[in-house]
Amino acid sequence: MVSTVKLSRLWESLGYQVDIVCMHTTENSEKPVKLSERRTIQFKRDFFLSDPWNYGISWGFSKLVRKRVREEKPDFIVVNKLLFWTSLSLIPLALSGKKVILLVDALVGMTWWPRGRLPQVCAAIYAWTIGWIILLLASQVIFFHPQPPKLLRFLGISKKSKVIPTGIDADPFNDAEKIRERESSINVTYVGRLESIKGVDDFLAAIVPLKKKFPQLTIQVAGWAKPDHPLVLQYKHDVDFMGHCGDVATLLAKTHIFVLPSHSEGLSNALMEAMASACACIASEVGGNRYLIQNGVSGFLYPAGDRAALASHVYRLIEDATKRRMLGTEARQRIIERFDWKVVGKMYQELFDTFTIRSGDSAISARVPSAANADSPLRKI
């Protein structure tokens, strides 16, 4: 997951040694692979259930995690994502007396729902059984965006929960506004997977008809999809399906309007990047989108699945260049003030310091290492 990569880099920059264990559809490594001086990663191959499940299963993953914990003796154990197969490793760790920090992007089956009745029923059963157990066993629960206080109290985790968002480095997007001014067309872009939960069908159904009135409109979809994906076949003559995009910063610099039409969402990295690029952003009013965007100030929110409302927002922004620029400027400022890595890094440093004190383990209470001080004792995550 993107958040794992981003956070591991952040923790390394704070001076920690970070060992990652994750699942991968094709990769499998017998030994950890060195990513940098203080980061290693080890892959365990999984079997992936496709859309609408989008769920990986990896037998033996928890065993591998316990093995790595015994070998590395980390000062902090962090499990990322609730109800992913990886989070099952928290149960044996906690039962063996380990203190584990759980990072939660979304409460699947509680506040986040897949599309389709059967997946929703399965998600709810999973959430209120195994998911609830994992939440209760975690020593600290970190949410990427705020959750309903009443739900947290009902779950019995409100006192050990706090919000620390994932962050972004806004610097690569500094010149986006200057580049965008040179574009003659109006570019409307979606970046992400072509999965049902992402609502790309709503995006295309709402926006493609606008090309009849606005011939200068270019519609872009950046994200891997099979050539025979139904949406690709249906809209290939009107939409630029770009596939995997390696240079998102350049793509967003040429984007005037960014749309995130998800039916459920955590804290979207794609939306943060678009805001950092000063794009005029439109997002469905779900999950972390409501945390990132101040409706009418740093973007527009609309009811998920409401294609007419989405089309109306895009129509307005195509015609109103001043509003586009205003929303984009405010969006970038919000990212810099609230979601920049410097801000998020301080929050994680405070978390680890507090977690160290509460644990009462003198072996963990080494002084905080600094990336600039090679003599500091390394603490491991």
Q: How far apart are CA 91 and CA 129, in angstroms?
A: 13
Three-class SS of residue 105? coil
Question: Over the stretch 155-182, which tens digit does the pLDDT of each residue have?
Answer: 999 999 999 999 999 999 988 888 887 7
Query: Which pTM does this prediction carry?
Result: 0.89
Give me the pLDDT at residue 374, please. Answer: 32
> Which segments within the chain are labelled E, that is strand?
18-24, 33-36, 39-45, 47-49, 55-57, 77-80, 100-104, 140-143, 161-163, 186-191, 217-222, 240-243, 257-260, 280-284, 300-302
Give me the pLDDT at residue 244, please. Answer: 86
Give me the pLDDT at residue 1, please. Answer: 62
252: which 2 tokens?
A: 């967003």
* Longest CA pairwise span in the chain (Å): 68
Q: How far apart are CA 272 and CA 292, in angstroms?
A: 8
Cβ-proximal residues to 251 (8 Å cutoff; 6+ apart), any chain: 189, 191, 220, 222, 242, 245
Residue with the two structure tokens 């389709």: 116
C-alpha closest to that of 12 among 337, 263, 370: 370
Give me the pLDDT at residue 324, please. Answer: 95
Q: How far apart are CA 283 and CA 302, in angstroms?
A: 7
| Dihedral sign computed on CA atoms, order 36, 39, 43, 48 | negative
Is residue 158 within 8 Å of residue 189, measured between CB atoms?
no
Is residue 378 within 8 Å of residue 76, measured between CB atoms?
no
35: which 2 tokens?
A: 């990513």
Which H, E and C letters describe 257-326, residue by residue? EEEECCCCCCCCHHHHHHHHCCCEEEEECCCCHHHHCCECCCEEEECCCCHHHHHHHHHHHHHCHHHHHH
Q: How far apart are CA 22 and CA 102, in angstroms?
A: 15
Give me the pLDDT at residue 378, please. Answer: 52
Three-class SS of residue 39? strand
C-alpha closest to that of 303 among 195, 109, 193, 312: 312
Task: Write out the chain's pLDDT in tens, 381 residues.
Answer: 677 888 999 999 999 999 999 988 887 888 888 999 899 999 999 988 888 888 899 999 999 999 999 999 999 999 999 989 999 999 999 999 999 999 999 999 999 999 989 999 999 999 999 999 999 999 999 999 999 999 999 999 999 999 999 999 999 998 888 888 777 789 999 999 899 999 999 999 999 999 999 999 999 999 888 888 999 999 999 999 998 888 899 999 999 999 999 999 999 999 999 999 999 999 999 999 999 999 999 999 999 999 999 999 999 999 999 999 999 999 999 999 999 999 999 999 999 998 865 544 433 323 333 333 333 345 677
| Dihedral sign computed on CA atoms, order 114, 118, 122, 128 | positive
359: which 2 tokens?
A: 């644990």
Cβ-proximal residues to 249 (8 Å cutoff; 6+ apart), any chain: 172, 173, 176, 273, 277
